[in-house]
């Protein structure tokens, strides 16, 4: 009887440890996805404004590009113990030279009845800069 109770306790504690790792991993994933989406949005420089003013500003389609990137990630991250059940871009703000992207990730725990889903949100920003891609325009 002691062995059965001890074995069940060990399995439950192991699942809780794995779920804690899943929650921490979800936080890192959310930050990484938000950072990459903001970087992609900041890389979408408005060429017409760059040619007329000489200043790198973020283009109008930057948030659409960032949203597509987040959706591509969500579609490809649906397997394994730490599978992402949903990833959504909560907000994308484009300033004159800065893109800010907020991403929320939801993962399902190993033992669904004990803990609820883990939801982590991260917000990251990136600034548009002239570089080698724009050549002599900058």
Read off the pTM: 0.74
* pLDDT confidence of residue 114: 67
Q: Is-contact 80 99, C-beta < 8 A? A: no
Ramachandran category for residue 25: left, alpha or beta (phi over 0 → left; psi -120 to 50 → alpha): alpha
pLDDT in tens, the chain (138 residues): 889 999 999 988 888 888 888 788 888 888 888 888 888 888 888 888 878 887 788 888 888 888 888 888 877 766 665 667 677 777 777 767 888 888 888 887 777 766 777 788 888 888 887 765 555 555
């Amino acid at each position: 009887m002691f062995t059965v109770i001890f074995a069940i306790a060990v399995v439950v504690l192991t699942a809780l440890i794995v779920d804690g790792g899943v929650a921490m991993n979800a936080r890192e994933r959310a930050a990484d996805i938000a950072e990459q989406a903001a970087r992609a949005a900041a890389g979408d420089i408005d060429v017409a404004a760059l040619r007329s003013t000489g200043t790198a500003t973020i283009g109008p389609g930057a948030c659409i590009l960032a949203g597509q990137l987040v959706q591509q990630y969500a579609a490809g991250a649906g397997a394994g113990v730490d599978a992402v059940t949903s990833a959504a871009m909560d907000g994308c703000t484009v300033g004159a030279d800065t893109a800010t992207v907020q991403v929320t990730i939801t993962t399902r725990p190993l033992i669904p009845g004990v803990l609820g889903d883990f939801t982590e949100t991260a917000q990251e920003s990136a600034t548009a800069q002239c570089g080698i891609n724009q050549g002599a325009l900058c």
